[in-house]
Structure 1
Amino acid sequence: MNQITLANGQVYSFQQLGSGAPLLFIHAPAIGHVNFFAQHALADHFQLIIPDLPGHGDSSPIPESFSLSAIAGQLCELLARITDQKAIVCGYSQGGPLALECLLASPNLFAGGILVSGFSEVNELFLHTRFYMAEALTAMHGIGLLASSIASSHVDDPVIQKQWISHMENTDSSTLLQLYRAGHAENCTARLSEISSPLLLLCGQEDQRMHPYAQLIEKHAPNARTVIISGVNHQIVTKVPDRFHEEVRCFAASLSLDLQRSAVPVP
């Protein structure tokens, strides 16, 4: 793991693997960079940048309230410090609205975005309930219970499950609670028309409750398209990584001219 200290003193821990077009991966709350262990295979053609969000791993905590747009600004600063190439930002689950906020905050840094089981707002009972449950568990210092549940739903290998749980149990509970609250309150749908770069929206065929969220984004973002992945629910990146990697490679190939443009100035 590498570390970088931002201008405001916030410390981010991150993995940097491979070379080529940069891929910035944004994990779901509580999981950390291990969310994308299966994506290391993409390092053969891409430069993978996989940070731990605040309070995860060795990234410093932010126990007070914050917005997803504030975290997106930090991620954009991190990216600009690491590479002078345009990147593809890929957000998983609540990492999806963070990816959207990155594209809104610093469009000059990105050639496109990929949302995996993502959303731009929370607007129905199912997702509201999931957030309320996660917030309640975290407020009661239930990170251990969250870790076991999330690991078992994403990973079949018991050895890797233990690695996930070990990493997740170190998450700062106050920061995690604020991250859940920020995701629950997020609503960038009205600003999606400002995102001109291409967006790939990936949803699992069995993840029916997330399909309307992809449709909402596709309706408002001018260059968004949805791909439904068969035989999988929410956990696309861990359950069907080969299919996910295929979609990433195809999407990146469609952006090849943008990715090869001249260096992007650091904001």
Structure 2
Amino acid sequence: MPIVEISPSLSTYYESSGTGYPVIFIHPPHMGQTVFKYQHELSNHFRVITYDIRGHGKSGSSDEDVTIPLLAADLSAFLDALGIDQAIIVGYSAGGSIAQEFVLTYPDRVKALVLSGGFSEVSTFTLKRQFQFGIALVRTGQSELLSKLLTMSHKVTKEDQPELLHECLQAHPQSAYGFYKKSMDYTCTDLLHNLRCPVFLLYGRFSHIRPYQKIYKREVPQMKSVLVSKSLHQVPIKNYRSFNQALSSFLQNL
């Protein structure tokens, strides 16, 4: 299995395909890199790298309290381990919290920032409730139920279901809880004006996350965005053809 050590006691599992410019994908809490399985179709033009953050999937965990800055530092160490100086960073849902923290902390390491269903703060009623629901299930020992719900909402084919479920069930409860909680508390809205790299946003036309597009339009006027028709929030996997086409078009025009 492709595993690198990003510290003496922490291993990171990843999958890599293609040989072009590196594109790194960051998954949400309680999931893993398999949610980006269809993005490896982009490997004809780019080096596609998907990885499991600490405490998720096949990556190791530690006793450290999970924070968004810590997960951004993990990403920096992961790139170091792969010998990558600069990459395109793609964050899906709460994975976007890590992506935004990374580009704000390590701006020279980011060629472009891509957010699918991204948000700079958790301020809407629906999004708060979604986070609170996930946190409550993990805290009360109902990780298996949460895994099944995430699997059902993300699977495309029958073959996806056991793969996604197995990976969700591997999430370490303490790590998943920390990722959920710190993502819910995270905000970078007041720092968005510091973004200097190209920024690309993708939202499902019927996604409950779509209202956050207004914040980015106000704070990051140079950003570009696409609304994916007939789609909810799970664009990278449920609408992967449209997602891959839009992402490839944006990246090839950088």
The interval holding the TM-score normalised by the smaller chain is: over 0.9
Secondary structure of 2:206's counterpart equals coil
Secondary structure of 1:48's counterpart equals strand
Measure, in 2, the Cα distance between the counterparts of 1:123 and 1:2: 38
| 2:189 maps to 1:189 | yes
Offset at residue 156 of structure 1 (A): 3.4
The 10-residue stretch of structure 1 (129-138 or 152-161) with the greater mean CA deviation from structure 2: 152-161
The 10-residue stretch of structure 1 (74-83 or 119-128) with the greater mean CA deviation from structure 2: 74-83
Contact 1:22 1:85 in 2 (8 A): no
Measure, in 1, the Cα distance between the counterparts of 2:79 and 2:246: 23
Measure, in 2, the Cα distance between the counterparts of 1:223 and 1:70: 28
Describe the superposition over 1:205-250 as per-residue Cα deviations: whole angstroms up to 9, x where unpaired: 011x312212212321243222111111001111211111111111
The amino acid across from 1:160 in the alignment is D
Q: 1:183 to 1:8 in 2, by over 3 A?
A: farther
The 10-residue stretch of structure 1 (245-254 or 221-230) with the greater mean CA deviation from structure 2: 221-230
1:53-68 superposed matches below 5 A: 53-68=53-68
* Greater than 3 Å deviation, 4+ residue runs: none
| 2:223 maps to 1:219 | no
Measure, in 2, the Cα distance between the counterparts of 1:168 and 1:126: 23
State the partner residue of 1:45.
Answer: 45
Query: Which TM-score applies when normalising by structure 2?
Result: 0.95
Offset at residue 86 of structure 1 (A): 2.6
Describe the superposition over 1:72-129 as per-residue Cα deviations: whole angstroms up to 9, x where unpaired: 1110221133144531100101011211111111111111011001111101211111
Offset at residue 63 of structure 1 (A): 4.6
State the partner residue of 2:166.
Answer: 166
Q: 1:80 to 1:221 in 2, by over 3 A?
A: farther
The amino acid across from 2:246 in the alignment is E
Query: Which TM-score applies when normalising by structure 1?
Result: 0.90
State the partner residue of 2:98.
Answer: 98
Secondary structure of 1:6's counterpart equals strand
Measure, in 1, the Cα distance between the counterparts of 2:241 and 2:65: 37
Measure, in 2, the Cα distance between the counterparts of 1:186 and 1:199: 19
Corresponding pairs, count: 254
Q: 1:34 to 1:2 in 2, by over 3 A?
A: same
5+ residue gaps, structure 1: 256-267
Measure, in 1, the Cα distance between the counterparts of 2:200 and 2:42: 17
Measure, in 2, the Cα distance between the counterparts of 1:229 and 1:62: 38
The amino acid across from 1:244 in the alignment is F
State the partner residue of 1:110.
Answer: 110
The amino acid across from 2:212 in the alignment is Y
Describe the superposition over 1:133-166 as per-residue Cα deviations: whole angstroms up to 9, x where unpaired: 1001001121111111111111132221111101
Contact 1:64 1:175 in 2 (8 A): no
Q: 1:9 to 1:63 in 2, by over 3 A?
A: closer
The amino acid across from 2:210 in the alignment is H
The amino acid across from 1:251 in the alignment is F
Contact 1:203 1:229 in 2 (8 A): yes
Q: Let me know the Cα RMSD of the aligned residues.
A: 1.5
State the partner residue of 1:240.
Answer: 239
